Structures are given as C-alpha cells and as structure tokens.
Amino acid sequence: MSGEFNLIEKYFVDQQAQRSDVVLAAGDDCALVSAPVGSLIAISTDTLVAGTHFLASANPRWVAHKALASNISDLAAMGATPAWVSFALTMPEIDEIWLAPFCEGFFALADQYGLQLIGGDTTKGPLSLTLTVQGLVPQGEALLRSGAQVGDGIYVTGLLGDSQAGLDVILDKSNATKPFASELEKRHYLSTPRTQVGEALRGIASAAIDISDGVISDLGHILKRSGVGAQVEVEQLPLSQPLLEFVGSSPQAQQYALTSGEEYELCFTVPDSREDAMWQALQDIDCQITRIGTINDDDKLRLTLDGQDLAWQLSGYDHFKTN
C-alpha cells in the first residue's frame, strides 16, 4: 500500500491472514504472489465513482460491500475462486469517520470470500474506488460467454429486480414510504456474489455472465458471443415479495427483473444433457436457481409471457443516470 495518505496504511495493512500463495503483500514496490501449476488467473477491474455508482452520503460499509461484491461477481461468472485484490482509493481528504466502517465492510466480505488485499494506492482527489480482483480457475474450466448452444436451458441465481427497486429509493426519497423500501435499498448495496455456484458449474455450464446491466442486456452478451438466440419466459423470472409489493404489479416487477442492473447474480446456460449433473453440483449450495428460458437459433432475444410474445420496449440499466 503506497500513496499520498500514509495514515490510510493503518486501515489497510495487516488486517487479514496471509494466504499461502501470497509471498509479499505490502511494503514493497509490488506484491508477489504465486499461481498453482495448472491454474489460470482470472482478472477483473471495476471502478466505482461517487455520484455515478454510489452516493457520497451512502453508508461506507455498504459502499465497500458493493465495490468488492461487484468485482467478486466477475470472478464467479468465470467459475474462478477468489484469491487476491488490489485497491486504489481516491478521496478528497482523509476522513476516518468514513474510512473505519468502509474498511470493516471491505475486510468482512474479503475474508468471507478468501480474498487477500495485496496492495494498492491512496490518492487525493474526487471520491472513487478502483478494485482489481484476481481468482484462480483450473486450465480449460473457465466459464466463458461464448459457449451457449441451441437447446441449452437459461438459468439465473437468486432473485431479480430488487437492485433497481433499491436504486429507486436511493435516487428518489419519495419512494421511501413504499413497502419494503429500506429493505430494497439495502439489497441494492448488499448483493451476494455467487462464487460457489460459479465453481460448481465448472465443466457443466456452457456459458455464464454476471448480471450487472440487467439480465436481458447481459444475456444478450452471451447470445452475441455464442452466435445464438433465446426465448425468455417472463413468468419464470424469480421475483421477491418485497419487489412485488414495492412496484405494485407483476408486469412491473417482471420489467424490473429484466432490466435491473448491479444484481450481481449469475445468468448461465446448461445443455439438457448436463441438467442432472447441474442440480447435483448445486444441491449443497444455499442459492435459488431458476430456469428462465431456452437458447434457440433465432438471431434475437424473444420475451414471452405464457407462450405469447411480449412487445415490451425496455431501456437498459444506466447506473445513477439521473445524477
């Protein structure tokens, strides 16, 4: 950990147990790590900017969770096991009232996922965070976006739509009186990255992605990379009771589920021939799995409700666009 704010070292250095593959974590020009023979290293970088991805006034513990969870989720989507994280924090001035809970949230989640902070940078400027996470996946077993085949089932983890509803509350306080408003706001920040599911799907799923821009947008990436189409059965979308009560109708909740970003759930495809293996691999993991559709040879993503085509015009998830 280097940077302009040496005080920050007290919050970030030596807060975790050392992983056996970390030779050097802090205090030199670089960290040094080793990857096991036969593994590939999966690497993802994400930036969160105050005002764009979170409000500067947000609970710092939640901001830390969201920043780290969004990165871990990228590892989950590759079937990678979390290993190391580098962290760059830019803030206008040292604010210990903000830093202490931020670091609590950060290390709580990092420890839970076996992720060790190996270094970073702290600089002066407008509040933002950039994390680079690295994970390990056996050679040839990474889950890619490009492997979906005609006939594969399309599945998602967890529940969809809550993150958008939470964002509604964050951006417009008049929504705070709606049912489950504070619960949904919390869900927006506190997602659960699905690394266990991703690891279990190695050798089983034909394609996977995490839901950061809305499931139709993210599934669209799988379709494009795989050169296939899809039918999504909207009545199958897994919706929470709080979402249904918050938005007030099933169609509205379904539309939320289709476009809600920053869910950090997985969307993946599995051939029918491996469906039994899938359910077996996932049986001990505490995570709802729902089949929402089927890959086909169309050139587009088709939405149906009880077998009838839907002509919904849905706009993509655009983070804090109203800011």
Does 285 bind a copy of itself (CB under 8 A)? Our answer is no
Nearer of residues 217 and 236 to a copy of itself, judged by Cβ:
217
Does 227 bind a copy of itself (CB under 8 A)? Our answer is no
Does 94 bind a copy of itself (CB under 8 A)? Our answer is no
Query: Residue 38: how many CA atoms within 13 Å on its side-chain side?
Result: 2
Which of these segments, 32-40, 107-115, 229-237, 294-302, binds a copy of itself (CB under 8 A)?
A: 32-40
Following CA atoms 282, 217, 144, 111 in sequence, which dihedral angle do they give, to the nearest 10 degrees? -60
Distance, in Å, from the CA atom of 152 to the CA atom of 162, rounded to the nearest integer, reads 27
Distance, in Å, from the CA atom of 290 to the CA atom of 237, rounded to the nearest integer, reads 7
Nearer of residues 119 and 271 to a copy of itself, judged by Cβ:
119
* Closest distance to a copy of itself from the beta carbon of 50 (Å): 8
Buried b (16+ CB within 10 A) or exposed e, 292-317: bbbbbeeeebebebeeeebeeeeeeb
3-class SS of residue 77: helix
Q: For a copy of itself, what does the binding mask look like between residues 179 and 218, x meaning CB under 8 A? A: -----------------------------xxx-x------
User: Could you tell me how many residues make up the chain?
Assistant: 323
Nearer of residues 309 and 318 to a copy of itself, judged by Cβ:
318
**Rg of the chain, C-alpha, whole Å:** 20
Report the interface residues with a copy of itself, using CB under 8 A.
Answer: 2-4, 23-24, 27-35, 37, 39-53, 74-75, 77-78, 80, 84, 86-88, 90, 118-121, 123-126, 128, 130, 132, 134-135, 137, 139, 142, 144-146, 208-210, 212, 225, 319
